[in-house]
Amino acid sequence: MAEFALDLDDEQKAVREWIHGFAADVMRPAAAEWDEREETPWPVIQEAAKIGLYSLDFYAQQYFDPTGLGIAMTMEELFWGDAGIGLSIVGTALAAVGVLANGTEEQVGTWIPQMYGDADDVKLGAFCSSEPDAGSDVSAMRTRAVYDQATDEWVLNGTKTWATNGGIANVHVVVAVVDPELGSKGHASFIVPPGTNGLSQGQKFKKHGIRASHTAEVVLDDVRVPGGCLLGGKEKLDERLARARERARSGERVKNAAMATFEASRPAVGAQAVGIARAAYEVALDYARNRVQFGRPIIDNQGVAFQLADMRTQIDAARLLVWRASWMASAGKPFTAAEGSMSKLYAGEVAKTVTAQAMQILGGNGYTREYPVERMHRDAAIYTIFEGTSEIQRLVIARTLSGMPIR
């Protein structure tokens, strides 16, 4: 287990420079176009695949980096480049982590490579959990998975919403109810393999920001998947359900395993928010040094300079929370104060505030699409909503600190 350190080693620095180069040279010049088109930027994903930046190998290397900082560093640089394109590149990783968290070794080896495809034939993955009536309240999920013993198949029915890459992915990971009596303890995750009948894309959403990332409903109409598509396998599921039923009978409360997974994955989302905030701050700093009003650069006014000082302080604080939680996840430290949620909460809020301040510093130019901060501000707004809203992060932190079932 690596000690927590703020110094990246030479190899990490080289990887960061490499990602930064791609973000600056390929993503940034394409950002405005794909934001306007509101389409998945396939050519940029293909470029990323060609150099190995969109690949299972690269993410596995960063995911298992013993310092824990690999994924945080990767996310920050990509999202510094552009958040919409960044999400199109890393959306697959969300589905891959769903398989990694619950799947057997064989399932991991079979399905994750199919989510990425290869440089000549790039594919995507999608993680489908949210539903129209089950957003923050996952226990209200209705999509049903029923086992058909005669054919050893699971039959999925329901409608998922807000799925990143939903309907255009090669492999979908779908969370569904297998035992409605058990609330969120009665859920299981399934692979829906490429080309499976009955899975279709519903409405594609037109969004405020991250518009280069595809977000859509996914409709499951009698979708039949082989028994082997249940992540973790039937035996493990039956054992888990039996334990949950026993606990429900005895009234025993146990720690939610899914919560631990969320704590470990939330810092990666926080790191994306840090990348957007840093990008907007840099534009604002440069502008404030060069824009002259009343015969001097606007940064000569404390009112502007102090804003920049606060912006930089908040960004650095957000990064420190993200790095701490990332290291804790990798070192297997218990999240006794919901440090993962803390990092996502703070970084998301900082991204929203800092990008708004950046627009203010750019004045009228900040409000136009001639400059990138307006897009960055629209992109930042999702970071207090998805992967658990800011309110839900506060709920998790407050419950963890107090031990009380705060509602």
Ligand X SMILES: Cc1cc2nc3c(=O)[nH]c(=O)nc-3n(C[C@H](O)[C@H](O)[C@H](O)COP(=O)(O)OP(=O)(O)OC[C@H]3O[C@@H](n4cnc5c(N)ncnc54)[C@H](O)[C@@H]3O)c2cc1C
Task: Point out which residues bind ligand X (CB under 6 A).
Answer: 94, 127-130, 135-136, 162-164, 207, 210, 215, 382, 385-387, 389, 391-392, 395
> To the nearest whole angstrom, how small is the minimum distance from the Cβ of residue 88 to ligand X?
12
C-beta closer to ligand X: residue 139 or 293: 139
The 3-state secondary structure of the chain reads CCCCCCCCCHHHHHHHHHHHHHHHHHHHHHHHHHHHHCCCCHHHHHHHHHCCCCCHHHHHHHHCCCCCCHHHHHHHHHHHHCHHHHHHHHHHHHHHHHHHHHCCHHHHHHHHHHHHEECCEECCEEEECCECCECCCHHHCCCEEEEECCCCEEEEEEEEEEEECCCCCCEEEEEEECCHHHHHHHEEEEEECCCCCCEEEEEECCCCCCCCCCEEEEEEEEEEEEHHHECCCHHHHHHHHHHHHHHHHHCCCCCCHHHHHHHHHHHHHHHHHHHHHHHHHHHHHHHHHHCEECCEEHHHCHHHHHHHHHHHHHHHHHHHHHHHHHHHHHHCCCCCCCHHHHHHHHHHHHHHHHHHHHHHHCHHHHCCCCCCHHHHHHHHHHHHCCCCCHHHHHHHHHHHHHCCCCC
Catalytically annotated residues: 387
C-beta closer to ligand X: residue 74 or 130: 130
C-beta closer to ligand X: residue 262 or 327: 262
> To the nearest whole angstrom, how small is the minimum distance from the Cβ of residue 328 to ligand X?
23
> To the nearest whole angstrom, how small is the minimum distance from the Cβ of residue 37 to ligand X?
16
C-beta closer to ligand X: residue 284 or 392: 392
> To the nearest whole angstrom, how small is the minimum distance from the Cβ of residue 263 to ligand X?
16
Residue of minimal Cβ distance to ligand X: 135
> To the nearest whole angstrom, how small is the minimum distance from the Cβ of residue 311 to ligand X?
25
C-beta closer to ligand X: residue 68 or 267: 267
